[in-house]
Structure 1
């Protein structure tokens, strides 16, 4: 499952935020979305796992959603996910200041070429409160590839990200 800015999250129930009303979805649709999140997460650990790279803002680590126990479990899950050889998690620290992706989050999807000579292309997914948008034009995906690399350059290295998460766990969630 993914959490703020696409970061992996545990299978703990998604807590409703008091800041905004829930999106106008039917119960069955919410259930289907939860099932899809769990299946996506399983793709990180199953046979032939997907490669996953995420860059997220440090604020995502500090925001308590669902109480301190749920937040602690989420941080532990991030640490476990970061240990996977196919996962690259990096945090943009507060000290980085403004960065290239302050406008909002996005997901860059890269697909393998399954048929020789046929380029599968990339896609960008931008989620908003009541839906999402897929961008597939090469000019759009190229822009977001460059943006991702810029933000990744502003982020902590993987080991430093792990140290930051561990420090939060030690200091706030013993």
Structure 2
């Protein structure tokens, strides 16, 4: 893995391989569990879905033996298992991040490209420190120490845009997100000025969906589609809702890519976007 974390992408790849090997034998997950003493059907299913955070070498070896995988093929998958056991930087913030969001951060850290539509907020990877602080301070029961650590997490995620092989981000933001004042005029002006600057980066494309575009089919909420450098790693759609929702079926991902294309066609082009963001920023005086 490019960032050395192992994490989510490796686990998904391992899970896909294990599922394909099992299906090739004609066994169900229940059949495999019946033949193994230490693995339940639930554990096998979680391994295949990449949900086991630190897969045990012994569990994977037992499955490979059951499926008749030997030699170099077996060693390659065991190496993949070892790589998937690494810990990402976000594990240090496990007390702050919901378990489902760990998966998203892991995928984001290893993605090559990200398309993102945000109807209510500035995209997380483009938020300023003060804007982030305001977002967390308005949450019920927020504590200052936790807020500062949440800010740290968000800023660390933004490193993906500045690494040696930076993440390619194409973001579409509803005009409402630009006009909703978080933290007062100074915070919003700084945030919008940062958006203008970020829109000039070679790996970032920013568009605004203006009010005069009228109704659109993404009014139900924001979403992101993540693509990865390896062709074997299927794209993933993430729906931003409580508990998070990950979709990796090709038909689902294609549907959201088509939805993004629809929004892109109705949004302002990048040059007009910069002009619009500059104009709105001047209103926060």
TM-score, scaled relative to structure 1: 0.82
State the SS of the aligned residue for 1:4: coil
1:40 and 1:103 map into 2 onto residues whose CA distance is 25
2:249 and 2:147 map into 1 onto residues whose CA distance is 30
The answer as to 2:134 corresponding to 1:15 is yes
**Structure 2: runs of 5+ lacking an equivalent:** 1-117
2:122 and 2:232 map into 1 onto residues whose CA distance is 28
Aligned to 1:123: 236
Tell me how many residue pairs correspond in the alignment. Answer: 165
Q: Are residues 52 and 27 of structure 1, via their aligned partners in 2, closer, same or farther at CA, if it must alter by over 3 Å?
A: same
Give the deviation of 1:152 after TM superposition: 0.8
Task: Out of 46-55 and 24-33, give the one that drifted further.
Answer: 24-33
Give the deviation of 1:59 after TM superposition: 0.6
More strand by share: 1
Kindly indicate whether structure 1 or structure 2 has the higher relative contact order, using CA contacts under 8 Å at least 6 residues apart.
Answer: 1
The question of whether the paired residues in 2 share the 8 Å contact of 1:123 and 1:141 is answered with yes
Task: Out of 55-64 and 4-13, give the one that drifted further.
Answer: 4-13
Give the deviation of 1:46 after TM superposition: 2.6
1:55 and 1:42 map into 2 onto residues whose CA distance is 20
Q: Are residues 25 and 17 of structure 1, via their aligned partners in 2, closer, same or farther at CA, if it must alter by over 3 Å?
A: closer
2:238 and 2:213 map into 1 onto residues whose CA distance is 25
The question of whether the paired residues in 1 share the 8 Å contact of 2:133 and 2:148 is answered with no
1:32 and 1:17 map into 2 onto residues whose CA distance is 10
More helix by share: 2
1:15 and 1:96 map into 2 onto residues whose CA distance is 29
The question of whether the paired residues in 2 share the 8 Å contact of 1:5 and 1:105 is answered with no
Give the deviation of 1:107 after TM superposition: 1.0
Q: Are residues 5 and 121 of structure 1, via their aligned partners in 2, closer, same or farther at CA, if it must alter by over 3 Å?
A: farther
**Structure 1: runs of 5+ lacking an equivalent:** none
State the SS of the aligned residue for 2:278: helix
Two-structure CA RMSD over aligned residues (Å):
2.7
1:100 and 1:5 map into 2 onto residues whose CA distance is 19
Task: Out of 102-111 and 37-46, give the one that drifted further.
Answer: 37-46
1:48 and 1:17 map into 2 onto residues whose CA distance is 30
